[in-house]
Amino acid sequence: MMRGMVIDMKDEQLRTLAQLQAFVDGTVAVDFAVTGEERYGFIGRTLRRFSYARLTRPDKGVVLRFLGRVSGYSRQQLTRLVQRVGERAPLLKRYRASRTSFARTFSDADVHLLAHTDTLHGTLSGLATKKLMERAYCVFGETRYERLATISVAHLYNLRKRSGYLRRRQVWTKTRPVSIAIGERRAPAPNNRPGYLRLDTVHQGDQDGVKGLYHINAVDCVTQYEVVATCERISEAFLIPVLEALLQSFPFVILGFHSDNGSEFINGAVVELLNKLLIEEQTKSRSRHSNDNAQAESKNGAIVRKHLGYSHIPQRFAALVNAFDRDYLNPYVNFHRPSLFAETITDAKGRQRKRYPYNLMMTPFEKLKSLPLAKQFLKPGITFQQLDAQASAMSDNEAAERLNKARATLFKTISNRSKTAA
């Protein structure tokens, strides 16, 4: 295809079909090509000059091969253009929206605002993002979200494919079975009461054989209220003080403590701490029942890994990371990040299935408030007025910006201190 050449020719010198055949075969040195919209005029002139409609089938093939060689069009494109010449229709079509075309509901500004929102919150699911934009307009009065607050989840994913959006967004070990008498092997049974926690630990990578710090992730079974804490090691001296502060930071009374079979939680020191805090029920996961602690493990990826990553963080920065968890990550997750909650449907055959409808999407704090007799679950000295003030102190986007800035500062500090130490 010779589109890069400009017209520099006398195409009238090709007047016979034999000359066209010679040109196609390469035996005649006529050096020219047509580009752009000028190809349409050239094709029309050629068809009229050779009286294309009156030619035999083989001769028409010669003309089409000639036009294809010069214009760069495919055989299918040329066939359509020849048909338009026969219908005396203009070859150059002007494409524009018809009177019945749908008007664009969401502007480029809306697409850019969606990209900005995804940047702030780390590109959550379509449902969660829709809820955030709905809250931004309806709860926090941000008028720029007026149109996006009404978007469907399906069309939200369409906007994420637009070029304007894309320009702005562009070691495992097997658990060994251990038989320990501490804890009861069963899943928690909260019965729609908050206070039954699932816990898991997340290791922040190794580097040159040196262990990184550890995160403790605790998630309430009913409300998904979550607290992340960080310690240097998971030995008793480092774990127990951090675990105690974590349990005390929940606004409601803790009734149950569930973990997998790791020795960091299934030991006498943890039992003593639970007895001190009057937590009577301690359970642990059953073998071949992966769902027993799935809620905590899913939050490990959705929260801890999403915001703190997989890279190695030296143990000496545990206090710094723990302060980030306490002051920025936990408030954002519990007061500003929507979560999906299930409803159980029993079908005609008596089988139970779980669905996650959009109208049940809310923040963990909103879920806590929605429970029947929610006040009775709060710890003494904590009221919903205090928690409401914390939730409304800033919008979801402001909380996300605050979290992102704090995280950037945290990792910059860790990087600078690590280089200095090296």
Our count of domains for the chain comes to 3
Q: Give the SS3 label for residue 210.
A: strand
Residue 404 placed within a domain:
no
Torsions phi, psi of 419, nearest 5? -65, -40
- When pLDDT is cut at 50, 70 and 90, the band that residue 319 belongs to is very high
Tokens in use for 233?
């090691």
Q: Does 50 have pLDDT greater than 50?
A: yes
Same domain, 117 and 249: no
Shared domain check, 21 and 82: yes
Higher pLDDT, 5 or 250: 250
Which H or E run contains 320?
A: helix 318-324
| Arithmetic mean of pLDDT, 22-34 | 63
Residue 7: band (very low, low, confident or very high) from pLDDT cuts 50, 70, 90: very low
Average pLDDT, the chain: 86
133 secondary structure, DSSP code: H
Domain boundary among 121, 140, 166: 166
The tokens describing 11, both together, are: 């195409």
Residue 133 sits in which domain range?
108-166
Look-up of token digits 């008007």:
103
> b/e per residue, 106-142, with b = 16+ CB within 10 A?
beeebbebbbebbebbeebebbbbbbbbbbbbeeeeb
Q: Does residue 217 sit in the same domain as residue 347?
A: yes
pLDDT value at position 166? Answer: 85
Same domain? For 205 and 348 the reply is yes
Does residue 146 sit in the same domain as residue 46? Answer: no
DSSP letters spanning 144-163: GGTTGGG--HHHHHHHTTSH
pLDDT tier, 399 (very low <50, low <70, confident <90, very high otherwise) = very high
- Residue 17 resides in a domain: yes
Measured distance CA(362)–CA(223) in Å, rounded? 10
Q: Which H or E run includes 198? A: strand 196-203
Per residue in 80-99, pLDDT tens?
Answer: 888 877 767 666 555 566 66
| pLDDT in the model for residue 68 | 83
Q: At which of 352, 368, 384 does a domain end?
A: 384
0.85 exceeded by pTM: no
113, part of any domain: yes
Q: Which residue has the tokens 């749908």?
A: 102
Q: Are residues 48 and 125 in the same domain?
A: no
- In this structure, the number of other CB atoms found within 10 A of the CB of residue 27 comes to 9
Same domain, 71 and 208: no
Half-sphere exposure of 354 (CA within 13 A, CB side): 5
| pLDDT class of 172 with cuts at 50, 70, 90 | very low
Alpha carbon distance 201, 220 (integer Å)? 15
Higher confidence at residue 40 or residue 403?
403
The pLDDT, as a whole number, for residue 33 is 57
pLDDT digits (tens, 9 = 90+) for 322-378: 999 999 999 999 999 999 999 988 888 888 888 999 999 999 999 999 999 999 999
Residue 277 in domain:
yes
pLDDT at 398 (0 to 100): 96
In angstroms, the Cα distances linking 62 to 44, 233, 244, 342 are 16, 81, 87, 68
Burial status of residue 92 (CB atoms within 10 A of its CB: 0-12, 13-18, 19 or more): exposed
The CATH number of residue 326's host domain is 3.30.420.10
Give every CB contact of residue 191 below 8 A, 6+ residues apart in sequence: none
**Higher pLDDT, residue 405 or 67:** 405
Q: Report, as an integer, the average pLDDT of 212-227.
A: 95
> Is 391 a member of any domain?
no
Q: CA–CA separation, 131 vs 149, rounded Å? A: 8
- Which ranges constitute the DSSP H helices of 8-160? 17-25, 38-49, 57-71, 75-86, 108-121, 126-138, 153-159
pLDDT at 2: 38
Residues 257 and 371 in one domain: yes
| pLDDT above 90 for 157 | yes
Which comes out higher in pLDDT, residue 418 or 26?
Answer: 418
Report yes or no on 176 lying in a domain.
Answer: no
Same domain, 226 and 314: yes
| Contact partners, residue 411, CB within 8 Å, separation at least 6 | none
**Mean pLDDT of the 47-76 span:** 85
d(CA 384, CA 284): 32
The identity of residue 230, as a single letter, is: T
User: Taking 60 as the threshold, does the pLDDT of residue 8 lie above it?
Assistant: no
CB contact at 8 A, 228 and 325: yes
The dihedral sign for the CA sequence 331, 367, 396, 152 = positive
Quick one: average pLDDT of 194-209? 91
Q: Tell me the pLDDT tens digit for each residue of 103-141.
A: 778 988 999 999 999 999 989 999 999 999 999 999 999
Are residues 308 and 276 part of one domain? yes
Helix (H, G, I), strand (E, B) or coil at 101: coil
Q: Would residue 336 count as lying in a domain?
A: yes
Strand-pairing partners, residue 259, are 284
pLDDT for residue 74: 84
**Terminal alpha carbon distance of the chain:** 59
pLDDT digits 0-9 by tens, 255-307 = 999 998 888 888 888 889 988 888 888 899 888 888 888 899 999 999 999 99
Has residue 317 been placed in a domain? yes
Residue 321 predicted with pLDDT over 60: yes
